Chains A and B, each alone.
Chain A
Amino acid sequence: MKPKYAVIKKHSSDIIIIAVILAAALILSLVSHRKSGNVTATVLQNGETVCTVELSKVSEGYSVELDGGVKIRFIKNAAGFIESGCPDKTCVKSGMLTKPGDTAVCVPTKTVLKLTGKAVNGEVDIISY
């Protein structure tokens, strides 16, 4: 009986190492999954990207001013039009966007604010309007 026990004991350190690697891989994959849940706001004017903001990293809210009297505000986990020189203010009425897939468009100033990223749930591929 004694030798058998000895063999297991001899290799138990290997098993522990493999187990640790496995656990590390699992944790890593979970962390990377959570990371992909981050929401990015992209602002476009005339089809050109003006700026890209990772919303979870916004600690203090700030605004960006664009052509056509457009002002877009970024706060932690949300972004939205707060001002526009357009007549109908449809963009401002869209409010603050929070979910990936959310989009606000200001047609007269050709400005688009869209949120992308992988949500944990309730994710859509696109929105029809």
Chain B
Amino acid sequence: MEKPKSKIPYIAALTVLCIGVVVLCIYISANKKIKPVESDSWAMGSAVSLKIYTDDNDRAGELSQSAFKAVADTDAALSSTIATSDISLLNASGGETVKISAFTADKLSQTVMFCKTAANFAADGSVPIDITVGRLSSLWNIGSGSEKVPSREEIDAALKTTDVYSVKADSEKGTASIKAGQTLDLGAFGKGIAADGVCEALSDDSLPAIADIGGTILLFGKNPNSRNGTWSVGIRNPFDMSSYCMTAEINTADSSSGAAFVSTSGSYEKFFIENGVKYHHILSTVTGFPVETDIVSVTVISYHSGLEADGLSTACFTMGLTDSTLKMLKSCSAQAVFITKDGKYYSTDGISDKLTAASSSFVHADYASYSEAE
């Protein structure tokens, strides 16, 4: 009788230990992060990288191949520096209607529509983003290494050809035309359109993934390594490009497609200096010169498309921290973070509480306070 009774403390101790082991196992497995399969490529004049969150290498390999193909196909169709692209064909058309792929016609009509919509929001009647700036952008040729400020005559001649309203695209017939002398440059939209292609390729599977197309980011699905599935996206520090200055927690559950697109436009990366004056690459279709603004970078989060994210970031940079910009962002249900030369950052309501500054030198300021001060 004595023996079984006396076993109780031993069993109790063993039970406690077992529970301990189970708890430890759960703790370890909960903290174990899925290491994504990473792949890299170079396309559209930029680094393209893909992270697919799976341990199935074959599946990830197939997906990344079709994703990189989507980027290459976008470039082959829309690049104005590839002589055989549909866009180059249009640029050489002399105003004639040209037969192009249904894909190009579709993207062309979408970008034209975007430019027109943005123009409707711009209070001063200007066109904040315009795909017909080809002549102006090749005149400045910023990033080539042999830049110089063009003459007023050259700029005026180039500006005469910018008119987004003269671009006609018919995606059903697969035809398009531009005004004679006009040159298209879809550079402001290219990476975003490629991100849309990648998103489509990834939709063949349900694996969570991140695509980085030269800084335009696609977040696909839920982050398996975070408790609530959000992704943490860094915004590059415009004053110290080695790192990021801010992180945004982005949840793709806020989107109907389960994807989010992040695009940044800034004056800090592509520029040249002449006689002590800095000339960046975002050109104004009003002055023909780089847009004059206190903003150094705008990051836009779109839950619809990469095309929209890219288009909005450029349009926001050009339009600045105005009520019109806010209205435009609202109409797209998009969020934005603006960083100004004085190290302040302004953000839309939907993202403010999801932003964390990585350094205390960045001060959050109210968007409304800026537009009132203007």
Residues of chain A having any CB pair with chain B under 8 Å: 3-4, 7-8, 11, 15, 18-19, 22, 25-26, 29, 33, 36, 44, 46-49, 80, 86-88, 90, 93-99, 101-105, 107-108, 110, 112, 114, 116, 118, 122-129
Interface string of B155-193 (1 = CB under 8 A from A): 000000000000000000000000000000000000000
Give bound CA distance, A33 to B144, whole Å. 45
Q: A87-B145, A93-B241 are in contact. Are A125 and B232 (CB under 8 A)?
A: yes
Closest to B235 in A: A128
Q: A18-B17, A44-B40, A105-B47 are in contact. Are A124 and B247 (CB under 8 A)?
A: yes
Closest to A105 in B: B47
Query: What are the 7 closest A-B residue pairs judged by CB atoms, nearest first?
Result: A87-B145, A124-B234, A129-B215, A47-B42, A129-B236, A47-B41, A127-B234
Count of chain B residues near A, Cβ 8 A: 63
B234 touches A128 (CB 8 A): yes
Give bound CA distance, A22 to B272, whole Å. 61
Give bound CA distance, A105 to B240, whole Å. 14
Q: A4-B6, A127-B244, A129-B215 are in contact. Are A22 and B233 (CB under 8 A)?
A: no
Across-interface contacts of B243 in A (CB, < 8 A): 97-99, 102
Cβ-based interface call for B231 (8 A):
yes
Cβ-based interface call for B299 (8 A):
yes
Interface string of B253-273 (1 = CB under 8 A from A): 000000000111010011110
Cβ-based interface call for B292 (8 A):
no
B28 touches A126 (CB 8 A): no
Q: A90-B241, A107-B46 are in contact. Are A33 and B236 (CB under 8 A)?
A: no
Cβ-based interface call for B48 (8 A):
yes
